[in-house]
Amino acid sequence: MNTPLLLFIESNTTGTGRQFAQRARALGAEPVLLSADPGRYPYAAEDELRTVVVDTADGDALWAAVQRLAAGARVAGVLSSSEYYVATAAELAARLELPGPSADAVRACRDKSVQRRTLAEADVPVPWFSVAGEVAEAVAAAQWRGAPVVVKPVQGSGSLGVRLCRDPGEVADHAGELLAATVNERGLSTPARVLVEQYLTGPEFSVEVFGEHAVVTVAKHVGAPPVFVETGHDVPAVLPAPEAAALVDSAVHAVKALGLGWGAAHVELRLDGGVARVIEVNPRLAGGMIPELVRRARGVDLVGAQVRAGLGLPVDLTDTTGTVGAAAIRFLTAGTDAVLGDTDAAEATALAVPGVVAAALYRPPGTRVGPAEDFRGRLGHVIAVAAGPGEAARAADTARALGLATALEHAPMKEAMPV
């Protein structure tokens, strides 16, 4: 009998993309990656993943490629580990009468302006916000509400384009830059709209939801403004019971209000005076290695659950391993311009810290690096596990500091211009 196919429309460049394919194989399905440029994903060649080169932004070409695959084998599911292609995968699954979320709900969710309006109308707590299609509108919204404000694109991922603007001039500059962009970093067209929203200063969390069930609450670490680079996560978050309940209630309410409720959703929130305000709902698994932290700390395999759901198999989110503990990740980022030195030594130094189970540098020695503006500026990560969240966090913080101290060399001074 032919092996069923699980189609993946593009992939994450880091994180769980490889794990999706691995889980598919473990369940007896053959993963097939459809991509405009499979070379973006080194793991595809390393793992000998079957690939189909196709313009994934061209709906007709993509459907034709899927039909050719379906003519030779049974297609059992269609998924994507990339937020940019979740709606595309959902549309294809629906056309093939296979499991998946509502493509319309995913598409609406990915437009942050539509998402915000939907949540506000459903009485889900959100920051105040305004949608602007012109620089003057963005500046007027900031002046009406009062700076500082956060200005961000209505579509995006990984904190790309998210910036704290402290006065009308900064709002005008950043809104103008965002509105001038016609495509994103994947070359996909972007709406000419931005969000101007309330700057919340309370602690940030995420709630990982599967279906309509909250699996775990994660404490998030975010770098200093004006950018909002995620620098680490702790699983589980340690919170008083009322605040923990408020976060879960807001997250699940948001998922239901948006018409999701199939598979994974990553809900980001901030506590604002005891109110759990939803910053955004992402209709996908969390990035930032959060699924790996959940697996290590709670014994729940969210990647496996998503793959099982995509294949139409039963999903069990209970811990079957007896795992009771905590996990923490810290991302390595440069504070100043520098050059990566001995990355192998940096990884070894981090791994020598008790409790650290993984350490990775993403770039080769000699790479010039600088302060991170978004997730693409992260240089590597360390993961620690322990009996409690505090122990895991301390181990990860220590490993991060030691790894950075070993990996980074000061950038050479620029030569003086001749006079």
What distances in angstroms separate CA 394 from CA 85, 111, 201, 353, 399, one per listed residue? 36, 37, 23, 10, 9
State both tokens at 171. Answer: 């709002």
> Nearest to residue 211, comparing CAs of 252, 150, 161, 153?
252
How far, in Å, CA of 138 to CA of 132, rounded?
5
Q: Looking at the chain, how many residues does it have? A: 419
Give the contacts of 311 (CB within 8 A, at least 6 positions apart). 4, 6, 24, 27, 29, 76, 77, 99
- Cβ contact 218:292 at 8 Å: no
| 131, two tokens | 């949608």
Tokens of 371: 């302060």
Give the DSSP H or E segment for 130: strand 129-132
Beta-bridge mates of residue 78: 7
> Would you state the torsion angle of the CA atoms of residues 371, 373, 378, 379, taken in this order, to the nearest 10 degrees?
-40
The residue with tokens 């889980």 is 23
Contact 277, 142 (CB under 8 A): no
Angstrom CA distances, 85 to 4, 241, 310, stand at 22, 36, 15
State yes or no: is 68 an active-site residue. Answer: no
Distance of alpha carbon 130 from the chain centroid: 24
**Measured between alpha carbons, how far is 66 from 32 in angstroms, rounded to an integer?**
10
DSSP letters of 23-92? HHHHTT-EEEEEES-GGG-HHHHHTT-EEEE--TT-HHHHHHHHHHHHHHS-EEEEE-SSGGGHHHHHHH
Active-site residue (options: 284, 298, 330, 400): 284
CA 262 vs. chain centroid, Å, equals: 18
* Chain center to CA of 193: 21
**Which residues are designated catalytic?**
284
